[in-house]
Structures are given as C-alpha cells and as structure tokens.
C-alpha cells in the first residue's frame, strides 16, 4: 500500500477536525458539506471490503427521503444486501479518524479483517440526483483508486438498481445482467407476461399517477418507458424539473403527514403512488368521492402480496413455508388481519431493512415491509427451484399455471432490497390479476388509530430497548410508566425507541380512537423526558 499517495489524496478531502459521525441504520447521513472526507474514506473501505470478500462491493451516494441539502453514503455487500454489521464499526472508525490517523486505522482494519492486499478490488458506484452527489461520488472514486481498486460508475441510478447490479455481478449473471438494460428487460418481461394473463380475463387498461419526489425515480421511469407494456399507463409527477427533491412530496412525506404530495392533482378514486428520493420505498393512496384521503402503506402492501402468494402456493399444491416480517411500527390491525384472516405467521424485528431482510431469509417465501413502504419478498433457492421446475414440467394445468405466475413474480421482485419500481409493478400485476380496485384493497382492514411523535432529549442513548424495540429496559422505571399509561386506554399499545437516523426519540401509540392514540402518545412522550 502506498501511504504517501494515501496522504496526498486524503489531503484533498480533509476531515473537519473534531467532527464525528456514525454509520447508522442507513449508512452515514449529514449535511452534504460535511461528507467529503466520509466519501473518500468509504471508497477506501469499499476497496478493502472487496478484497476481504473477493467480490464486487457497491457504494451508493444518497440521503433517500432527507432534504436536498443532505447527503449520505452506504455500502452494499456482495449479494446486494446491506453492509455486514461487523464492518459498520470499521466504517465509523475510518470516517472519524483525524487525517494523521488515517494510515494507522487502514492498517488496523486490514489486520483485523484479514484483508489480502494482493487481491483485486472491484467497486460499483451509484448516486441520486442531489446537486452534491456528483462531486461526492468523485471523492468515493478517489478512495477506491488510491488503494488500486477498479470501479464502475453507474452514475445516476436508484438505490435498488445498484443493489441489483452488485448481486448480478457476483452471481455470474444468474440473477440477471448487471446493466440498466438488463434490469429493465428482466422486469418488463415478467410484468408483461403477468399483465397478459389479466387482460385475457377482461381487465381494462390500468392508469397510475406516480409522484417521484423530484428524484431519480422520474428519470428511471422515463428510461423504462420503451419497455413498458402499453396496457399500463403511468403519469409521472414531481419529476425534479421544477421543485426541490423531497420537498412536500415523496413517500415519506405522504406517510408521515397522511396527505397527498404537492404537485399531484388527484381526482376521486384515481390510483396514485409516491416513491421516495432514491426510489426504494413506495406508498399508494387515493381520494374518495367525499374528498377523504386514504393511505395504503407498507403494511397493506405486505397484506396484498401475502394474500396473492398464499393463494398461488395453495393452487400449486406445495407446502412452502411462508411468513411476513414487520417492525413494531406495523399497524396492529395489519398484524391481526395477517394472522387471523390470511393465516400467515408474522414476525416482528427491529427497525431497519437489514433486520427485516435477515429474518425473511429464514423462510421459503419471506415477505417483509416496513410501514413506511420499504419492502420486498425473498424466495429461498429451494423454493425457487421447485417453482421453476413445476412451471416447466407439471402435468396438471392449474398447478402449472400457478407455478408460472409465481415464476414471473420471482423475476419481477427485486429480491436484493425494497425497490419502488419493482414493487409498483408487482402491485399493479396483482391488482390486475385479482381484478381489485384500490378501494377494495384498502377495505381489507381498517388501521387502528395511531400517532407517531418525535421527542428531543439530552441523550437518546439512555433509552435501551428489547423485544424488537417494543419494551424499554433503560432508563429504570420508564417501561413501568408506559405500561401504566397504556392500561388507561382500550385496544392500546405504545413504545419508545431512539431513532437510528436523527438525534431524537420516537414515540408510537395506538388506541381505539384517534383522540386516545394522540393522548397516549403525548403522555408517553412526557414520560420520556
Ligand atoms: C432508515 C432505514 C429504514 C428505517 C428508518 C428508521 C434502511 C435502508 N433504512 O431509513 O428502514 O425505517 O431508517 O429511521 O435500513 P429511525 O431509526 O430514525 O426511526
Ligand atoms: Zn429511500
């Protein structure tokens, strides 16, 4: 390793003295001006990780749904998953090393992680549409290059597209071609075959209005247009040509404020959806004839997909193990509906995609969604093989047809991570095949009234939780107070957890009425101080 070069390059991306940041749930996130050194160092780390794994690693420059002035970076592991937790610590150390300590930290990581310096390093890079992203991704490239790594810069891509590329590259094309064209072709082929089936059952043309949060989703939908089957007409809003990224729009805005985004005019009963800034989340919604807004969030998306897949698996005549994975934020009504009506086991894990993904891998068919609209479906290798074989060879026509639909679903779903474009096509295909309107989908169950609050505290780390973040173990006495408050209300539950992305504590409450949910959340937030 050429430490003189490292020093020289690192001086081009100096660290503001004293600044410390942490590799959190979604990598590093901060104001864009504070991130240049972090980017350079994540280039270094990606090259080291690539050598350690003997595989291509991804680096995505994005701050997702956060304001345009922010930015962020996260690493993608060989199969398209989030960076392994054991390396998050290295990421934090490297980002926080003062300039003169950098060489020492790099050497230390190489030793601890047994990085073979002579191995090739290969890194895929992508970025969102933030004005700061181009320059920041250049700093990533500097980091990779100074360690002698090779890189491929995909430029502007959605986060899930980069996850997909990394997975394709490391599985020698088994998952698809690591190109945008390969991605569009794979998705559109599967989608077209599914839609064809629904059209033969008399479905009319489908229309959908999409709010792209003024982000990358708009560009990528435009690229995909030529691949799109004519049966589905999408209209893109908030394409980034007029307004700022994520400003009063996007999936996070719609979910948090429970209202339509700016810039999308909605007529009664029209189908609408919103992507977030890097297109890894999606929520649906519509306005009824009385003008009321109805949100269809990640919980309801998981429910729709579960019903559909469960029916197909039954038709195919195979007993594959299927489960849904949620977090504590999933509305209690969705959990109850899934368990009691759909009759599928539900598991609750800690917030953050990596926890959901990990749990979902335990099943033949693992469906995971966060209420905020991030989610996907994972098929085990064994399940996939069974399905593909039945689709080809099964003599019973009904069983074979069910297997074929499932096979197309496997190809349509981005199994590496939640993907707004892929999820949207999955949902549209299911609605078309089942002949369901958004209103009928929405009516599957009614959400329990809920409230989510942010509380500013001196040190959020004093709150430690257990049981998938549903119970507080510290500070002493807090959980007892929450229990007592929850008892005052009917059909209620509440929990607190320190945010993994902001310097705040989040309070969540559900109860029998909106007034009671609001009151309970308020009372719990007072107990947190
Ligand atoms: C990040 C997570 C998201 C989670 C959110 C919670 C990933 C890729 N993203 O955005 O899944 O819902 O953090 O934020 O893991 P919080 O800890 O601030 O509540
Ligand atoms: Zn996102």
3-class secondary structure for 437-491? CHHHHHCCCCCCCEEEEEECCCCHHHCEEECCCCEEEECCCHHHHHHHHHHCCCC
CB 381 within 8 A of CB 368: no
Helices (H), 203-287: 216-224, 251-257
C-alpha count within 13 angstroms, C-beta hemisphere, residue 526: 6
Residue 199 has a pLDDT of 67
- Which residues are paired to 70 by β-bridges? 31
Token pair recorded at residue 283 = 């929520």
pLDDT at 228: 82
- The closest ligand to the CA of 298 turns out to be 1
506 lines ligand 1 (CB under 6 A): yes
Nearest CA, atom 1, ligand 1: 26
pLDDT beneath 70, residues of the chain: 199-204
Phi, psi for residue 487 in degrees, rounded to 5: -60, -25
Query: Tokens for 294?
Result: 């109805």
380 is known as an active-site residue: no
Beta bridge partners of 422: none
Contact 357, 291 (CB under 8 A): no
Question: Residue 203 corresponds to which tokens in the numbers above?
Answer: 């479905």
Find out whether 115 and 48 touch, Cβ atoms under 8 Å.
Answer: yes
Residue with CA at minimum distance from ligand 1 atom 4: 352
In this prediction the ipTM stands at 0.97
Angle subtended by helix axes 133-146 and 3-12, to nearest 10: 170
Q: 């899930």: which residue's tokens?
A: 160
Q: How far is CA 157 from the centre of its chain?
A: 15
What domains lie within the chain, and their CATH numbers?
A: 3-156 (3.40.120.10), 182-294 (3.40.120), 298-422+437-442 (3.40.120.10), 450-528 (3.30.310.50)
* Ion ligand 2, residue ranges at CB < 5 A: 64, 276, 278, 280
Ligand 2 center–CA 63 separation, angstroms? 7
In short, whether 326's Cβ falls inside 6 Å of ligand 1 is no
Is 374 near ligand 1, meaning CB less than 6 Å away? Answer: yes
Residue to mutate, 26, 27, 30, ligand 1, most ligand atoms under 8 Å from C-beta: 26
Q: Which atom of ligand 1 is nearest to the CA of 65?
A: 10
**In angstroms, rounded to a whole number, what is the distance separating the alpha carbons of residues 504 and 449?**
23
Task: Give 111-118 contacts, CB < 8 A, sequence gap 24+.
Answer: 113/48, 113/52, 113/87, 114/52, 115/48, 115/51, 115/52, 116/51, 116/52, 117/1, 117/51
> Nearest-CA neighbor of 308 among 198, 415, 385?
198
Regarding the beta carbon of 351 and ligand 1, being less than 6 Å apart is answered: yes
Instruction: Give me the chain's average pLDDT, please.
Output: 96
Residues contacting 503, CB < 8 A, separation 6+: 456, 460
**Is 372 touching ligand 1 by the criterion CB < 6 Å?**
yes
How confident is the model at residue 262, as a pLDDT?
A: 97
3-state SS, 338-394, equals: HHHHHCCCEEEECCCHHHHHHHHCCCCEEEEECCCCCEEEEECHHHHHHHHHHHHHC
Catalytic residue among 30, 64, 188, 525: 64
Which among 199, 436, 426 is positioned nearest to 305, based on CA atoms?
Answer: 426
pLDDT at 386: 97
160 burial (CB, 10 Å; 0-12 / 13-18 / 19+) is: buried
pLDDT at 200: 61
């Amino acid at each position: 390793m050429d430490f003189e070069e490292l020093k020289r390059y690192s001086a081009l991306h100096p660290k503001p003295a004293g600044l410390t940041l942490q590799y959190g749930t979604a990598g590093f996130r901060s104001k864009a001006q504070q991130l240049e050194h972090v980017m350079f160092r994540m280039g270094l780390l990606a090259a080291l990780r690539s050598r350690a794994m003997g595989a291509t690693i991804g680096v995505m420059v994005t701050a997702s749904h956060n304001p345009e002035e922010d930015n962020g970076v996260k690493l993608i592991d060989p199969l398209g998953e989030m960076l392994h937790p054991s390396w998050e610590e290295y990421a934090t150390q490297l980002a926080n090393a003062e300039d003169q300590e950098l060489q020492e930290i790099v050497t230390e990581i190489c030793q601890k992680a047994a990085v073979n310096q002579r191995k090739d390093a290969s890194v895929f890079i992508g970025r969102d549409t933030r004005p700061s992203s181009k320059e920041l991704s250049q700093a990533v490239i500097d980091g990779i290059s100074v360690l002698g790594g090779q890189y491929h810069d995909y430029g502007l891509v959605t986060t899930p597209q980069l996850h997909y590329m990394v997975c394709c590259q490391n599985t020698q094309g088994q998952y698809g071609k690591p190109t945008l064209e390969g991605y569009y072709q794979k998705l559109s082929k599967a989608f077209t075959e599914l839609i064809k089936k629904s059209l033969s059952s008399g479905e009319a043309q489908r229309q959908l209005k999409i709010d792209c949060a003024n982000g990358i989703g708009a560009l990528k939908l435009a690229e995909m247009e030529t691949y799109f089957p004519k049966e589905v007409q999408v209209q893109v809003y908030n394409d980034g040509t007029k307004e700022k990224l994520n400003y009063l729009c996007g999936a996070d805005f719609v979910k948090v404020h429970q209202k339509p985004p700016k810039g999308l005019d909605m007529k009664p009963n029209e189908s609408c959806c919103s992507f977030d800034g890097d297109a890894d989340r999606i929520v649906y919604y519509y306005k009824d004839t009385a003008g009321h807004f109805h949100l269809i969030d990640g919980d309801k998306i998981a429910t729709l997909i579960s019903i559909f897949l469960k029916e197909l698996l039954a038709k195919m005549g195979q007993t594959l193990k299927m489960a849904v994975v949620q977090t504590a934020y999933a509305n209690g009504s969705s959990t109850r509906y899934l368990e009691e009506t759909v009759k599928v086991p539900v598991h609750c894990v800690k917030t953050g995609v990596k926890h959901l993904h990990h749990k979902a891998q335990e099943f033949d068919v693992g469906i995971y969604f966060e209420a905020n609209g991030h989610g996907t479906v994972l098929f085990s290798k064994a399940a996939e093989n069974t399905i593909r074989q039945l689709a080809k060879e099964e003599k019973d026509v009904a069983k074979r047809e069910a297997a074929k639909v499932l096979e197309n679903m496997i190809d349509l779903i981005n199994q590496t991570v939640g993907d707004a474009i892929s999820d949207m096509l999955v949902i549209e295909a299911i609605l078309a095949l089942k002949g369901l309107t958004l209103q009928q989908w929405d009516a599957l169950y009614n959400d329990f009234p809920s409230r989510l609050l942010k509380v500013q505290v001196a040190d959020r780390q004093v709150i430690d939780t257990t049981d998938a973040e549903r119970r507080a173990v510290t500070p002493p006495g807090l959980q007892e107070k929450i229990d007592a408050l929850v008892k005052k209300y009917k059909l209620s539950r509440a929990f607190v957890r320190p945010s993994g992305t902001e310097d705040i504590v989040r309070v969540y409450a559900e109860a029998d009425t909106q007034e009671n949910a609001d009151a309970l959340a308020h009372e719990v937030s007072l107990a947190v101080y």
